[in-house]
A and B are shown apart, each in its own frame.
Chain A
Amino acid sequence: MDLWQYVRGREETLLFLTYQHASLAFQTVLVGSIVALAVAVAVYRLPVVSSLTLTGSRVALTIPSLALLALLIVPFGLGVTPSFLMLAFFAAMPVIGNAVVGLRSVSPAVVEAARGIGLARWRILAFVELPIAWPVILSGIRVSTQMIVGVAAIVAYVLGPGLGSLIFNGLSRLGGTNSVEMALTGTILIVAVALVFDALLVLLGRLTISKGLR
C-alpha cells in the first residue's frame, strides 16, 4: 500500500473533491443552522412546544441517514438536491436543541431588566438573548459540523458530490489496484476537513463570544 503513489498525479482531482465536500458541508450546516435558529426563536418562549421540539430534534437524529436519503430520491431523483436536503436536515437538529436550551437559559432577571428599561421585544431577542445564548448555539453548530462532514460521505450513494465517492469506489473494488488507498485517502481528507472546520469555529467563538460570558 502506497498512499503517496496514489495521491501523486491525482492532486487536482483530490483537491476538487475536498473542496466540493467542504463546500457541501459548509452550505448545509449554514442553511440548517439558520432554519434551526428560526425554529428555536419561534418556540423557545412556549414551554410545552419547546420540550416537544427538543425531544423531536433528538429523535430525528436517530433516523438512519441512508433511509432518509432513499426517501428523498423518490421526489427529487439522484444528485445534489436530495443530498443537500438530507444533510441540512441533520445539520439543523443539534443546533435546534442547543438554541432552544440556550435561549431558555438566559436569566429571567436579565430579560425582565431589559423589558423594564424599555427595550422592545425584538431588540431583547437580537441584542440580549441571542448574544447570551450564542456560546451554547455555537457549540451546537460545532457538533453539527463534525457530524455533517462525516455523514456527507454517504451522499455518494445517490451520486452526490464530495469525497464519499472515493470511499465507495474504493470499497466496491476491494482487492483491485489502489482500492484501499482510494478509500483511505477519502477518509483522511474527510477527517482533515472536519478538523479545519472545527478550528475555524473555535476561532469564530473567540471573536464573537463576549468576554463577559466566558
Chain B
Amino acid sequence: MTRDHTRAEPGATERRITGASIRLDGVAKRYRGQEKPAVERLDLDIEAGEIVAFVGPSGCGKTTTLKMINRLIEPTEGRILIGDRDVTDENPDRLRQSIGYVIQSGGLFPHWTVAKNVGAIPRVLGWDRARITERTEHLLDLVGLDPDTYANRLPKDMSGGQQQRVGVARALAADPPVLLMDEPFGAVDPITRVRLQDSLLGIQQELGKTIVVVTHDFEEATKLGDRVLILSEGGHIEQYAPPAEILANPASPFVAEFIGSGATLAQLTLTRVRDVEHEPVVTASVGEDAHAVLERARARGHDRIVAVDARGRPRAWPTLAEVATKPQISDYIDGRLPVVGEASTLNDALDTMLAASQGGVLVTDGRGRVRGSLRIDTVMAVIRSYTAEVRAEDDEPSYVSHTEGSADDGRRSS
C-alpha cells in the first residue's frame, strides 16, 4: 500500500500529456467604483497535464481568477500565457475556442440535442459532418454516456449528473489543451458528485489535459487537485502545493483554519482506492447460465458475483443465493449499486459502503469497467494504521505510561 498522493504508479510516467502550461504573470482585476481589487497581482504557474484546484471562501477571487484565464473577465493588468503563447491580447472568442469551459449544471443549450451541444464548437470551426459525428460519439463514450442512447436526447430529459457529463464532453470537443471548470459539481447530489469526480480523474488520466477546477469544498480540492491553490480575500495566495503538503504543513493560520478537520480524515481523503488492495471479483454477463456462474464463483470461494454489461460495467452484485433463484444471470440493474472509481478517495469509498448493504464497494476504472471490490475491513485497517501512527507521533501519555494522580480533569470539558 502506498500513501503517496502523486500519481506515480506504473503507466503514469508514460502518460501522454496533451495539456499546456498556464502562467499568470502579475494578473490583477479591479472593478470601477470598488476600492479593493477583486484580485490583486497574482502570479501563478500551472504545469502542463496537472489538475489544479482553486479553493477558498466565497469572495476570495477564485472564480474571477479562473475566468481571467479565458478572459471571460478581462484582467486590468498582467499577462496570461498558455503554453508559450501570450494570449492577453488574442481575439477572445478564438482563445475560448481553444480552452474548454465547464460551469455548474453544465450550462447546456436547452433547445439542442446532446449531439448538437457537443458539436457546437466543431461546427463553428467548420469541421465536416462525419468528423463531428465521430468526435461526438468518441466524447460521449469518454464521459460515460452511451452515444446510441444519448446523442439525440434533449437536456431536459437527462439527470443533472448526465447533463454535467455532456457539459464536459462539449468542453473537450475541439480537443483543447486546457479545461477550466467553475464549481462543476456544485449542483449534484453527493453520490453523483463522487462519480463525476471519478469520471473526471479517469478522463484526465487518459487525456493528460491541464485542468483548473474552482471549488469551495476543500475535500473536493484535495481529491481532484495535483496541486491546490488556497486563496484568501483579494486573490491573495495563502498556499499553493500538493494536498499532502498542505495537510502536513499548512502555510498560515488561515490555511490551518480553512482545512479544518482532523489528520486521520484528511488521510482518508488523500489515499486513493487504487492505492489499497482490491479483492478480485467473479463477473458474469447478462444471460449467462446461472449454474456455470455459480460453479465458477464457488471454485474461487466467492460469495457474490458481479453481473456486467457488454462493456464490462457492473449492473448488480448479487449473492450466490440470489443468483441461484434465476436460471440465467438477470438483466436487473441495481440502482443503488455501491460503485467507486479507482481514483476515488477512501473517504468516498467509506461513504458509499455505509450507504449500501453489501459491506463493500465495487471498484471501476475510468471507463466504468469493474476492476474488483473493496471491503469495509480493508478501509478500517487503513484507518487503524493511521491512528496508530498518529498516536506514535503524539507525545501525549498513554494508558500505560500514565503517572497515577497526574490526570488533568479540566481538559475533558475543553
Residue among B95, B99, B120 having the largest count of chain A Cβ atoms under 10 Å = B120
Contact residue among A118, A128, A211 (Cβ-Cβ distance under 8 Å from B121):
A118
Q: How far is the CA of A115 from the CA of B154 in the complex (A)?
A: 21
Q: A211-B154, A212-B154 are in contact. Are A116 and B72 (CB under 8 A)?
A: yes
The main secondary structure of chain B at its interface with chain A is: mixed
Whole-angstrom distance between the Cβ of A91 and the nearest chain B Cβ: 26
User: Restricting to B86-136, which residues have a CB under 8 Å from any CB of A?
Assistant: 93-101, 103-113, 120-121, 124
Q: A109-B105, A212-B156 are in contact. Are A118 and B110 (CB under 8 A)?
A: no
Q: How far is the CA of A132 from the CA of B72 in the complex (A)?
A: 22
Contact residue among A113, A123, A211, A213 (Cβ-Cβ distance under 8 Å from B107):
A113
User: Restricting to B55-102, which residues have a CB under 8 Å from any CB of A?
Assistant: 70, 72, 93-101
Chain A, 104-122, contact with B by CB distance < 8 Å: what is the 0/1 string? 0000011011111111100
Is the pair B120, A119 in contact by a Cβ cutoff of 8 Å?
Answer: yes
B170 close to A (CB within 8 Å): yes
| Cβ–Cβ < 8 Å partners of A213 in chain B | 110-111
Is the pair A113, B103 in contact by a Cβ cutoff of 8 Å?
Answer: yes
Is the pair B111, A117 in contact by a Cβ cutoff of 8 Å?
Answer: no
Is the pair B109, A114 in contact by a Cβ cutoff of 8 Å?
Answer: yes
Contact residue among B110, B113, B171 (Cβ-Cβ distance under 8 Å from A117):
B171
User: Restricting to A81-130, which residues have a CB under 8 Å from any CB of B?
Assistant: 109-110, 112-120, 123, 128
Q: A116-B72, A117-B170 are in contact. Are A110 and B97 (CB under 8 A)?
A: no
Is the pair B110, A110 in contact by a Cβ cutoff of 8 Å?
Answer: yes
Contact residue among B103, B110, B121 (Cβ-Cβ distance under 8 Å from A112):
B103
Q: A211-B154, A212-B155 are in contact. Are A115 and B111 (CB under 8 A)?
A: no
| Cβ–Cβ < 8 Å partners of B167 in chain A | 113
Is the pair A117, B72 in contact by a Cβ cutoff of 8 Å?
Answer: no
Whole-angstrom distance between the Cβ of B69 and the nearest chain A Cβ: 11
Whole-angstrom distance between the Cβ of B218 and the nearest chain A Cβ: 25
Contact residue among A113, A119, A120, A131 (Cβ-Cβ distance under 8 Å from B108):
A113
| Cβ–Cβ < 8 Å partners of A23 in chain B | none
Contact residue among B93, B103, B106 (Cβ-Cβ distance under 8 Å from A120):
B93
Contact residue among B94, B106, B111 (Cβ-Cβ distance under 8 Å from A118):
B94
A169 close to B (CB within 8 Å): no
| Cβ–Cβ < 8 Å partners of B104 in chain A | 109
Chain B, 182-204, contact with A by CB distance < 8 Å: what is the 0/1 string? 00000000000000000000000
Interface residues of B (CB under 8 A from A): 70, 72, 93-101, 103-113, 120-121, 124, 154-156, 167, 170-171, 180
14 pairs, A vs B, C-beta closer than 8 Å: A109-B103, A109-B107, A110-B109, A110-B110, A113-B101, A115-B72, A116-B103, A117-B101, A118-B98, A118-B121, A118-B124, A132-B111, A213-B110, A213-B111
For the A-B complex with A117-B100, A118-B94 known, give 12 more contacts whose Cβ atoms are closer than 8 Å.
Answer: A109-B103, A109-B105, A109-B107, A112-B103, A115-B96, A116-B70, A116-B72, A116-B96, A118-B96, A118-B99, A131-B111, A132-B111
Interface residues of A (CB under 8 A from B): 109-110, 112-120, 123, 128, 131-132, 210-213
